Structure 1
Amino acid sequence: MTGAAPAPSADMRRGVLLPLALAQFICSFAGSNMNVMINDISKDLDTTVQGVQIAITIFLLVMAALMIPGGKVTDRYGRKRCFVAGLVVYGIGALLSAVSPGLGVLILGNSLLEGVGTALLIPPVYILTTLLFTDLTSRARAFGAIMALGGIGAAAGPLIGGLITSGLSWRAAFVFQALVIAAIILLSRRIDDPLPPDPDRPFDTQGAVLSAVGLILLVMGILAADNNLWLMTGLLLAGALFLTWFLRSARAKERAGEEPLLSPSLFRNRTSNLGLITQNIQWLVLMGTSFVVAAYLQVVRGYDAIQTGVIFTFATLGLLASSLAAERLAERRAQRTLVMAGFTLTTVGIVVLLALVSGSPGPWAFAPGLLLIGLGLGVMLTPSVNIVQSSFPEQQQGEISGLSRSVSNLGSSLGTAIAGTILVAGLTKGAYAAAMITIAFFCLLGLIAAALLPRNPTGTGPAA
């Protein structure tokens, strides 16, 4: 870090951490809780399951398209200002979703407004954390808390959403989101932006459009994996072409002395590139496991949303325990070692899950494997983020934060696509096992990427 930002007091940092962690929680919760409400929403709004799935897909597309520009505008308008603006937009979207009379209003509230709000508020979470928590120990603790609540939001979303939907209504789940957002806005009054906004900072509109179109096509291609191979291939190729165009445009602007939306120099950092790969795969594994196992439990085993959520509690507990131990782990082990250990533990968890579930009809056969998967994910989520964010100085935190969140969202989308493929395959036991083996294969790819990381990336921890 450059040291330009004043060192915040310990009390200030504690006051900042809670709203930032809660913001990551509610956004992760929103990404997974809708899956147990699809049937209720479709009946209430007189639409189809496919219509509600379209709303979920548009939410993913909006986030993917706007996350990089959302990270960049924080430099121009200020990190806290963008954080609060994102919260307000998100809260309005949640309230609109809660009172929606039809699918169109639900798409406006949930897919568009909540998607835009998420893209505005999530990059500042990681930028502010990096700027305010400057030493390894405090930053590991902060990212540990944020990633723990993010993982809990994703893993416990089906349980919380199922409880609210069964006890009250699916609309109450959106009211719950709005109430949490209101609490975060109140808590965020203690946040002070460590760097002043730069209103004269240029914004690359062409780059924003090219990157948005490229990422939209890429996510659409990933989500089309469950129904049309040719469509998937065409969309992925088109997305790759637009992103190539975007990078070529960024290089041209940089050579001309202009400021592009995303500096190509970000991709010249080998450590960050490997860290981004591990982030992508971690969220693929988290969301992929969540959707595949949840679908299997409900369709093959016949469990309801609450029973499914209770079984997932073991993954949530494992993730919480290891994420909250991030500070102690960072003091004793290199970040690279923790990421490798996380992928190893997660792979073992998948093997245990397959072995025990295939031999037992009882629900508790899922517990050991899910617990190990949760522990593994919790061990590596924090160091991966820390490695990437710590690879760049303060002036590039907006860019790398937006890129980091986009990469993670792409991983979540790919995990969703794997779950969709299982649904099309008919959710037989063989299809379920094949999906989990595929996720284990991605874990091994993540382990290889982690092994290629330097033993002690600058500023990220002890040598061993």
Structure 2
Amino acid sequence: MTSIGTAPRRATTPRTVPAWMILALACAAQFMVILDASIVNVALPAIRGELGFTATGLAWVVNGYLLAFAGFMLLGGRAADLFGPRRMLVSGLVLFSAASLAGGLATTPGVLVAARVAQGVGAAMMAPATLAVINTFFTEPGARARAFGAWSAAGGVGGMIGAVAGGAITTGLSWRWVFLINVPIGALLITVALTALAGAHTGRREPLDLTGAVTGTAGLAALIYGVMRSADHAWLSGQVLVPVLAGLLLLAVFVVVEARFADRPMMPLRLLRIRGVAVGNGMLLLFGGITIAMWYFSSLFLQNVLGFSALQAGLGQTPAAVTFMLVARGSAALLPRTGVRPLVLAGSAGFLAGFGWLSLAQADSAYLTGVLGPTLLVAAGIGLTFPTLMAAATADAPEGDAGVIGGLANTASQVGGSIGLAVLATAASGAAAAGTPAALADGYDLVFLIAAGLGLAIALVSFLLPRRPRG
């Protein structure tokens, strides 16, 4: 069943455009989107020194991007359905590249933060469009599963090498090139997209559900903003509670509008009656906490407990990134034969074993036995689970709703990560009040135990998933 309106045309890519080029385009765009969420972190001290940021203002160089990215993702997904994935991917690349240029040339804090917000909006246009491209051009189940594996690996590696790339660029060139490097890469991807996706459907020519767009986007943005504020304020303080409650209220209004009043809803609620979509997105919310515990808190353990520099921590996590990439590609190849549940259960076993082992790490632990071994297990679990959940959450989407389904899946993962970061950071700080390396280790160990619990929850919820996503 598709939404009301003119049915979208199937992709008619010219035979001269190979499938690998389309997949490479989707993977490169996703890599770029995720890379920019982390590559700036290492450059923050240099940015603060040159532009004169306050400590509070500096956080919004990161938060501005993440807030816009997660808040606008659902809208970006629906726009890909209405206006076509090619148009949205190209438009997102143009905005992302232009904002990167503005950020690289910024001379004031306000300009840089505004550029980061614009980058986040561009990323929110690009990410669901890449999933729509995969769903549109890779219709055979095996090929689609392999494409999801490559896409997942590209995003995961992009997030992992951010610290290494940011450190190398900032040290060897300037913090400005963390942004400026996106400009030539974006120009290349725009050229490829215009050529490779020339046969993609051009949308449904329906009007956008403006009420749903405003309430949904504002609700997500307010909720995520409130969660971000919990890093500096108590959960029951007005600074956190007011935006969180406002966000929840707006999201409730959004659901009512979509269910009762919208002729052509931005997020058709009938899609949530598809079991893979509903359960898959619920699991992606839990999975967001897993990824935060793995990449963010293990990096903090390396730096704050074992004394690694940011660059050394990035290099220390590289074996896990390589493991994730290899396992993600392998799990994508297995998915058509095994179905969803065995891979999710195997990944959850990796979470339980890896995080359980990691929770034993102390201030005197060795890197090889205290961190490397368990993070390899967790990375293997992520490689088994992430592409599988993304495939399960999007595989049954009607073609004309591929964009919004992709936006929903990305939103679930991002919102889960934001909430997971806030909750796990609160748990870590409460257990590490003394501030010594030993106390910090205890705080991070609690985070890893909670993450093991999330892995167990994912295993249990997996029994609600369909055995195999339909192609």
TM-score, scaled relative to structure 1: 0.92
1:312 is aligned to: 317
Match of 1:363 in 2: 367
Residue 84 in structure 1 maps to residue 96 in structure 2: no
Q: Which residue of 2 aligns with 1:441?
A: 453
Are 2:372 and 1:329 equivalent residues in the alignment? no
User: 2:75 — aligned with what?
Assistant: 69
The equivalent of 1:201 in structure 2 is 206
2:39 partner SS: helix
Shift of 1:264: 1.4
Q: Is the contact made by 2:67 and 2:221 (CA closer than 8 Å) also made in structure 1?
A: yes
Alpha-carbon deviation of 1:360?
A: 4.4
Query: What code does the residue aligned with 1:68 have?
Result: L
Which of 15, 33, 56 is 1:50 aligned to?
Answer: 56
Deviations 1:232-268 (A, max 9, x none): 34433322211111110111125xxx10111111222
**Letter matched to residue 82 of structure 1:** M
Q: What is the aligned counterpart of 2:35 among 29, 34, 42?
A: 29
Alignment of 1:144-223 (within 5 A): 144-192=149-197, 194-198=199-203, 200-223=205-228
Listed one character per residue, the Cα deviations across residues 57-83 of structure 1 (whole Å, up to 9, x for unaligned) are 222221222111111122332210110
Q: Which residue of 2 aligns with 1:244?
A: 252
Cα distance change on mapping 1:7 and 1:136 into 2, 3 Å? farther
Whole-angstrom CA distance in 2 between matches of 1:74 and 1:457: 22
Secondary structure of the structure 1 residue equivalent to 2:218: helix
* Alpha-carbon distance between aligned partners in 2 of 1:287 and 1:201, rounded to the nearest angstrom: 38
Kept after mapping to 1: 8 A contact 2:10/2:136: yes
Distance 1:212 1:22 in 2: 26
- The answer on whether the counterparts of 2:38 and 2:163 sit within 8 Å (CA) in structure 1 is yes
Could you tell me whether the CA contact under 8 Å between 1:127 and 1:398 is conserved in 2?
A: yes
Distance 1:6 1:223, change over 3 A: closer
- Correspondence 1:284 to 2:289: yes
Distance, in Å, in 2 between the alignment partners of 1:363 and 1:354 is 14
Map of 1:373 onto structure 2 = 378
SS at match of 2:136: helix
Aligned 8 A contact 1:15 1:190 in 2 = no
In 2, distance between residues paired with 1:10 and 1:135?
19
Aligned mates of 2:55, 2:306 — CA distance in 1 = 21
Could you report, residue by residue, the CA deviation over 1:260-310 in whole angstroms, capped at 9, with x for unpaired residues? Answer: 111111222222111012222223311332221222222233221111111
Matches within 5 A, 1:414-453: 414-418=419-423, 420-421=425-426, 422=428, 425-426=432-433, 428-453=440-465
Output the amino acid matched with 2:362. S
State whether residues 87 and 181 of structure 1, in contact with CA within 8 Å, keep that contact through their aligned partners in structure 2: yes
How large is the Cα RMSD of the aligned pairs?
2.2
1:407 aligns with 2:412: yes
> 2 CA distance for matches of 1:44 and 1:119?
29
Taking structure 1 as reference, are residues 239 and 188 closer, same or farther at Cα in structure 2, changes over 3 Å only? Answer: same
Moved more, 133-142 or 393-402: 393-402
Q: What is the aligned partner in structure 2 of residue 143 from structure 1?
A: 148
The answer (yes or no) to whether the contact 1:78–1:193 under 8 Å persists in 2 is no
3-state SS of the aligned residue for 1:200?
coil
C-alpha spacing 1:76/1:334, structure 2 compared with 1 (3 Å): closer
Give the alignment of 1:253-272 within 5 angstroms. 253-254=261-262, 258-272=263-277
Q: Is the 8 A contact 2:362 2:442 kept in 1?
A: no
Change (3 A) 1:194 1:376: farther
- One-letter amino acid of the counterpart of residue 108, structure 1: A
Task: Select between 7-16 and 335-344 the one with higher mean Cα deviation.
Answer: 7-16
2:81·2:401 contact (CA, 8 Å) conserved in 1? no
CA contact (8 A) 1:38 1:49 kept: no
CA distance in 2, matches of 1:388, 1:366: 32
2:19 matched to 1:13? yes
Q: 1:423 to 1:54 in 2, by over 3 A?
A: farther
Task: After superposing the two structures, state which structure 1 stretch, 193-202 or 375-384, moved more.
Answer: 193-202
Q: Letter of the aligned partner of 2:259 in structure 1?
A: R
Q: Give the distance between the partners of 1:284 and 1:403, measured in 2 at CA.
A: 17
- In 2, Cα distance between equivalents of 1:321 and 1:10: 29
The Cα of 1:130 is off from its aligned counterpart by 0.6
What residue ranges of structure 2 are gaps of 5+ in the alignment? 3-7
- One-letter amino acid of the structure 2 residue matched with residue 416 of structure 1: L
Counterpart Cα distance in 2 of 1:66 and 1:207:
12
Aligned to 2:105: 99
Q: State how far apart, in whole Å, the 1-side matches of 2:453 and 2:396 are.
A: 28
The CA distance in 2 between the partners of 1:193 and 1:344, in whole Å, is 43
Q: Is the 8 A contact 1:47 1:103 kept in 2?
A: yes
Between the aligned partners of 2:319 and 2:420, the Cα distance in structure 1 is 20
For residues 198 and 417 of structure 2, the distance between their equivalents in structure 1, rounded to whole angstroms, comes to: 30
1:170 is displaced (CA, Å) by: 1.7
Identity %: 28
Conservation of the 8 A alpha-carbon contact between 1:292 and 1:418: no
CA distance in 2, matches of 1:414, 1:288: 12
Conservation of the 8 A alpha-carbon contact between 2:80 and 2:404? no
Q: Give the counterpart of 2:466 among 444, 454, 457.
A: 454
- How far the C-alpha of 1:410 sits from its partner, in A, is 0.6
- Asked if 2 retains the 8 angstrom alpha-carbon contact of 1:154 and 1:287, the reply is no
- Give the deviation of 1:450 after TM superposition: 1.4
Structure 2 CA distance for aligned equivalents of residues 229 and 6 of structure 1: 48
Give the one of 114, 118, 125 matched to 2:123.
118
CA displacement, residues 29-76 of structure 1 (integer Å, 9 cap, x when unaligned): 111222222222212211123212123222222122211111112233
SS of the residue corresponding to residue 442 of structure 1 reads helix
